[in-house]
């Protein structure tokens, strides 16, 4: 004997509501590259923080500091790496200049996980602290 069990209407409503909460990455154009920043000079005893930790750095240098990105896309010679999750989402944009050379970070922007704007330097520092465990 086969029994059929109908899902309660409340359960169906909850499942449909949750399905609408899924987010996807948008395919908006990457920001135009700005003037290449000079990486902050590191002297013994100096600590580099904020956006100076990423701007002017290569992809390998940034991922060494912040970990594996949660999202990545390429557009010509440009690359967009996103480091997501609490407390903030950090988007870092890399450009080749001149073409064919290693791409360096030229722009960074951040937002809180709820979508409100966040200060990029504070987000870099928070993501760095989360990565090294303090």
CATH-assigned architecture of domain 47-134? 2-Layer Sandwich (3.30)
Cα torsion angle, 110, 63, 28, 17, sign: negative
Which DSSP string do the residues of the chain spell out, in sequence order? -----PPPHHHHHHHHHHHTT------PPPPPP-PPPPPPPP-TT----GGGGTTT-BHHHHHHHH-S-SEEEEETTEEEEEE-STTEEEEEEEE-SSTTSPPEEEEEEEEETTS-EE-HHHHHHHHHHHHHT-
* Residues of the chain predicted below pLDDT 70: 1-48, 134
Question: Which token pair is 44?
Answer: 């013994």
State pTM to two decimals: 0.65
Q: For 40-64, write each residue's pLDDT tens digit.
A: 444 444 456 899 999 999 999 999 9
Torsions phi, psi of 72, nearest 5? -150, 140
* pLDDT in the model for residue 130: 85
121 vs 25: CA distance, rounded Å: 22
* pLDDT in the model for residue 3: 44
- C-alpha pair distances (Å), 82 with each of 8, 20, 98, 120: 39, 22, 23, 12
């Amino acid at each position: 004997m086969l029994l059929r069990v109908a899902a309660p209407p409340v359960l169906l409503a909850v499942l449909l509501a949750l399905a609408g909460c899924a987010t996807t990455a948008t395919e908006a154009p990457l920001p135009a590259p700005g003037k290449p920043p000079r990486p902050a000079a590191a002297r013994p005893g100096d600590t580099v923080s904020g956006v100076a930790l990423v701007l002017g750095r290569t992809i390998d240098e940034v991922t060494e500091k912040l970990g594996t990105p949660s999202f990545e896309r390429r557009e010509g010679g440009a690359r967009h790496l996103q480091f997501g999750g609490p407390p903030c989402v950090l988007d870092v944009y890399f450009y080749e200049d001149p073409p064919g050379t290693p791409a360096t970070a030229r722009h960074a922007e951040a937002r809180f996980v709820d979508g409100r704007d966040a200060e990029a330097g504070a987000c870099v520092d928070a993501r760095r602290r989360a990565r090294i465990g303090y």
